Amino acid sequence: MQTERDWPLFEIFVRARAGLDHKHVGSLHAADAAMALEHARDLYTRREEGVSLWVVRSSDITASDPADSESLFEPARDKIYRHPTFYAIPDEVKTL
């Protein structure tokens, strides 16, 4: 039987209001996902912080490596033409 000593870690996501994305708020240990939900309710929504919860086992998350962040994200830096502000539109042209 699994003992309390190896209860896995869960990452907790809360939807603050209908219409918003679930946002990561923290983590907690629980015996399983059902218990993680119950604890997340007590730990992260004591003051109406949310209307919906997701719990995900931390070990199920695949994260990018900070060492790769330059090669992953910096190529986007010189592609400023992807932003609308790159284009100078004459003042006379409206609603564009």
Partner 1 sequence: MYTQGLDAAGADARADSAASDDEAALLQRFQRRVDAEEKIEPKDWMPERYRSTLIRQISQHAHSEIVGMLPEGNWITRAPTLQRKAILIAKVQDEGGHGAYLYSAAETLGVSRDQLIDQLLSGKAKYSSIFNYPTPTWADVGAIGWLVDGAAIMNQIPLCRCSYGPYARAMVRVCREESFHQRQGYDIMLRLSQGSAAQRRMAQEALNRWWWPALMMFGPPDADSTHSSDSQRWKIKRFSNDELRQKFVDFTVPQAQFLGLTVPDPELRWNEAAERHDIGAIDWREFEQVLKGNGPCNAERLAARRSAHEQGAWVREAASAYAEKRRARGASRAA
Contact window for partner 1 (CB under 8 A) among 2-10, 13-21, 73-81, 83-91: 2-10
CA distance 12 to 43: 10
Name the residue among 65, 2, 11 with its Cα closest to residue 33: 11
Q: How far is the CB of 14 from partner 1 (least distance, A)?
A: 11
Which member of 63, 88, 89, 96 binds partner 1 (CB under 8 A)?
63
User: Half-sphere exposure of 29 toward its Cβ, with a 13 Å CA cutoff?
Assistant: 6
16 binds partner 1 (CB under 8 A): no
Q: How many residues bind partner 1 (CB under 8 A)?
A: 23
